[in-house]
Amino acid sequence: MVVSTRILALSLFSSLVLATPLSVSNHYSRDLIVHETRDALPSGFSLTGPAPADTTLKLRIALAQKTPDAVVDALLSVSDPTSDKYGQHLSKNEAAQLAAPNPESVSAVNAWLSEHGLNATSITPAGDWLELHVNVSKANTLLGANFSVFHHGSTGQAAIRTLAYSIPASLKGHIDLVHPTTTFPEPVDSNLQLGKRAIHKPILPRTLSSNCANGTTPACLQELYNIPTTPASVPSNKLAVTGRFGNNAHYAFLQEFLKQYRPDMDPSTNFTVTLLDDGNNDQDQPSVSEGELDIQYTVGLATNVSVDYVMVGIKWQDGALEGYLDEVNYLLSLDNPPQVLTTSYGMPEDSLPFNLTDKLCKAYAQLGARGVSILYAAGDSGVGCEQNSTSFVPTFPSNCPYAPTYQADAVTGYLTQLSSSTQANSTLGRFNATGRGFPDVSAKADSFLVWENGTASLFGTSAASPTFASVIALLNDRLAQKGQSPLGFLNPWLYSKAAGALNDITEGKSNIECNGDNVGFEAVKGWDPVTGLGTPDFNKLLGVLGL
C-alpha cells in the first residue's frame, strides 16, 4: 500500500506569539543568496501567521558530497555480477569516506554557524548531514527566512515552514539543502488508512493449489515460490522491517499467527523492536494492520531469520521524508546493518522536491554498497493518477534510480512491445519513457491472512514486499552458510543472472482508471511495469547462485 500521508492530527500553536521582525543587521545577511523557494503553497495549506519566535526548529543541513558519484559507482561495482568486485561490500568507514563532504565544506559551514553562536552535530557516519537546533527567530536571521505557521484545512494539521530561504553566497556548493524549510509535510487524508482491512473474496486462478484455497498463508506462498520451511541457521543474518505512523506489531498476535499458520515453527519465535524518533511500541494500542502484516509475513516466512522492527515515531510536522532519513541514517550508523530491509510505505513522487529525494536515494545507495538489499512496496495504485491530470504518478522511494543501466534492455524491450499494442495510444505520453521503470519484481498480494485479534484478509504491495524480502533473507542464509557475501543491491543481479529464475508473469492488465480512461500497462513476456521481471522461485534462484 502506498501510504505516507497518514499522520495524526495535532493542534499545536494555540497561542501565537508575535515574531520578532526579520533582522537585516547581521553581516551575513548582506551576502545571503536565495537557495530554495516555492511559488505556491501545496494544495490545502493556508498561512496562519508568523511562527512563534521562541519555537525550536530541528533543522538538517545536507552538505555537498566531495565526490557526488562515488557512492553510486561503488554500489554498481560491488553489485554487478560481471564486476570483479562483485560481492565485495564496503565497510561502514569505506562507505562513509565515499559519501563524505569536503573538509573545507565542513569548516566553512561550522564557521558560519559559530559566527551566529550556533553549533551543529553530525548525524551520519559520513558527516554529510548536520543537525541544528535553533529557534525561529534565529533561524530567520541565519537563513534570511520567514518561518510561518501553515495550516492544512481538511486535517487541521499545522506545520512551520518558510516559502524561501537563503545561504551565504560563499557557502554555495558547500550546502545542498536545509530541511525542513520549503518542503511541506504530506497532509493526512483520513480515508487513506494504512493496512486497511479488506475482507474480500480470494482471487483464485485455477493453477493455485489447495494450500491457497482459504486465502494466502505462509504454506500457500511456500508452495507457490518453493520457499523452504527449513530454519535459517546463521546468527548474523538479519532482516529489518520498517514501521511508521503508529503501526505497531503485537507480539501476542504473531504468536497466535504462528500457532495457526506455521504449526511446524516454535510459536514463541519473536522479533525485536528498535524505536527511532520516539517511536511507540505500546502493545495495548489497537491494531492498525500494516505492522502485523509486515511482521507476520517476515517472521512467518523467513524461518528463523532474526527480524527487527524499526519503528519510526510519528513526526508529521517534519514530513514523512524525515522518517526515511532518520531510518537510513540509523542503519548506516550500524557496523553490521541487517542485510535486508523491507518497507511497505511510500508516497507520490510528484509532491516531493527532487533534491531531497536525491539525497535519500544516495543514502540508500550507500546502504546498498554495504551489502543491504532494500525492498520498497511500489504502491497499490498501479500507474497512479492524480485528479485532473493525465500523467501517471510514480511512487517514491520505489523509484530511486541508482543509474539504471541494468534495466535498459528490459525497459526497451517492453516499450517496443507497448508501441505495437492496442494500449499504446492511450498510454504513451502519460509517462516519461526515459526514466526508471518499476516495479522490478512482484509476488502474490491478495487475501493475505493476518492475525490481529481475529483474522483479517489484507492485500497490496505491502504484502508482496515482505514476501520477496523473506526469500532474499533465506537466500542470504544459504550464502552465509558457505561463507559467501549477501546479495546486497539486487537489481543488477536480478536483471541479468537471476531473470531466468523468476516466474515471468505474461498476462494481465493493471487495469487502472485514470480519470475515466483505462490506461494501465499490461503484463507481457519479459519485464513489464505491472509485474516487473516476475515472482520468485527459491529453488531456481539457489541454482543461479550455484548452491
Ligand X SMILES: *[C@@H]1O[C@H](CO)[C@@H](O)[C@H](O)[C@H]1NC(C)=O
Task: Point out the residues that are catalytic.
Answer: 290, 294, 462
DSSP conformation letters of 400-445: --S--GGGHHHHHHHHHHHHTSTTHHHHTTSS-TTS----S-----
Residue from the set 146, 193, 381, 391 that interacts with ligand X by CB under 6 A:
146
Residue 432 binding ligand X, by CB under 6 A:
yes
CB of 325 to ligand X, least distance (A): 16
Q: Does 426 bind ligand X (CB under 6 A)?
A: no
Site residues (CB under 6 A) for ligand X, limited to 238-267 = 250-251, 255
Which one of 9, 13, 22, 222 is in contact with ligand X (CB under 6 A)?
A: 22
Q: Which of 8, 10, 30, 54 binds ligand X (CB under 6 A)?
A: 54
Pairing of strands 129-135, 56-63: antiparallel
> Which of 15, 422, 483, 546 touches ligand X (CB under 6 A)?
422
Q: Does 176 bind ligand X (CB under 6 A)?
A: yes
In the DSSP assignment, the letter for residue 234 is -
Q: Quick check: 375 and 341 in contact, CB under 8 A?
A: yes
- d(CA 181, CA 174) in angstroms, rounded, equals 18
Give how many residues touch ligand X by CB under 6 A.
44
Main-chain phi, psi angles of 131, to 5 degrees: -115, 135
Q: Which of residues 64-83 bind ligand X (CB under 6 A)?
A: none
- Summarize the annotated binding site for Ca(2+) as residue ranges: 504-505, 526, 528
Among 425, 506, 518, 539, binds ligand X (CB under 6 A): 425
DSSP reduced 3-state for 199:
coil
The C-alpha cell at 15 is 497561542
Cα–Cα distance, 225 to 113 (Å, whole number): 55
Which of 347, 333, 161, 159 has the alpha carbon at shortest distance from 244? 347
- Residue 488: is it exposed, middle or buried by C-beta count within 10 angstroms (0-12/13-18/19+)? buried
Nearer to ligand X, 88 or 226 (CB): 226
Residue with cell 524505536: 275
Which one of residues 205, 235, 263, 516 is an interface residue with ligand X (CB under 6 A)?
Answer: 235
Looking at residues 352 to 411 of the shown chain, list those that interact with ligand X (rule: CB under 6 A).
354-355, 387-388
At position 51, the amino acid (one-letter code) is A
Could you say whether residue 435 binds ligand X (CB under 6 A)?
A: yes
CB nearer to ligand X: give 176 or 522.
176
Q: With binding defined as CB under 6 A, does residue 148 bind ligand X?
A: yes
Site string for ligand X, 177-206 (x = CB under 6 A): x-----------------------------
Q: How far is the CB of 78 from ligand X (least distance, A)?
A: 24
Name, in order, each residue with C-beta under 8 angstroms of 47's C-beta and a sequence gap of 6 or more. Answer: 41, 148, 149, 150
Distance CA 376, CA 244 (A): 13
* Per-position b or e across 502-521, b if 16+ CB within 10 A of its CB: bbbbeeeebebebeeeebbb
- What's the min distance (Å) between Cβ of 94 and ligand X? 25
453 binds ligand X (CB under 6 A): yes
Q: Which is nearer to ligand X, 502 or 523 (CB)?
A: 523
CA distance 490 to 428: 29
Q: Which stretch binds ligand X (CB under 6 A): 24-32, 47-55, 238-246, 491-499?
A: 47-55
| Cα 527 versus chain centre, distance | 22
Rank residues 94 and 266 by Cβ distance to ligand X and give the closer one: 266
User: Contact positions toward ligand X, by CB under 6 A?
Assistant: 22, 35-36, 47, 49-50, 53-54, 117, 119, 121, 135, 137-138, 146, 148, 176-177, 210-211, 213-214, 231, 233, 235, 250-251, 255, 268, 270, 286-287, 304, 354-355, 387-388, 422, 424-425, 432, 434-435, 453
